Amino acid sequence: MSNVYDFTVKDRKGNEVSLSEYKGKVILIVNTATGCGFTPHYEPLEAMYKELKDKGFEILDFPCNQFANQTPGTEDEIHEFCTLKFGADFPQFKKIDVNGETADPLFAYLASEKPFKGFGKGIKNAALKKFSDMNNKIFGDKAYIRWNFTKFLVDREGNVVERFEPTEEMETVKAAAVAAL
């Protein structure tokens, strides 16, 4: 694959969507969860989406239940939670796996383009690393994503330009998105 436009994914209703539909836009691709300590990221993500979508910015939300079973619901339950609690209006796709033999090819590609480099410093980040290391042992060399709310920034040409772990400040994510626009 040469860029993200070469991938097809499924929307939350199961319809195939070519990511080429997003050509020319800056995209933030996120694996999400409804019961995670990082779930409040939905709020700044939605604020960023509202502010930047008219400038050619999209957020693509891919729920995943591979991290401590923190996204147990159906696509409709997840969507309802995100819209009612956070007003999330950006596109939400079918729940997927991001690690292991059943990993969605898009996320394997994203992680190969921008591999994990750590959660950063501090006691919270060290605790998350320990927990994610235990969780990801079952995926071995196919542990592409370390935790919920990992974000990948894609430029207007479909190239993966940045990876943000869930511990990254949302202001940093927004600044990178604005710079890419």
> Phi and psi dihedrals of 12, rounded to 5?
-65, -15
Among the listed residues 36, 103, 143, 153, the single catalytic one is 36
Task: List the structure tokens of 168.
Answer: 């990254």
**Contact (CB, 8 A) for 166 and 38:** yes
- Tallying the residues shown for the chain, one arrives at 181
Give me the helix-helix angle, 42-52 and 75-86, nearest 10°: 80
Provide the 10 A C-beta neighbour count for residue 76.
10
Annotated catalytic residue 64: no
Active site residues: 36
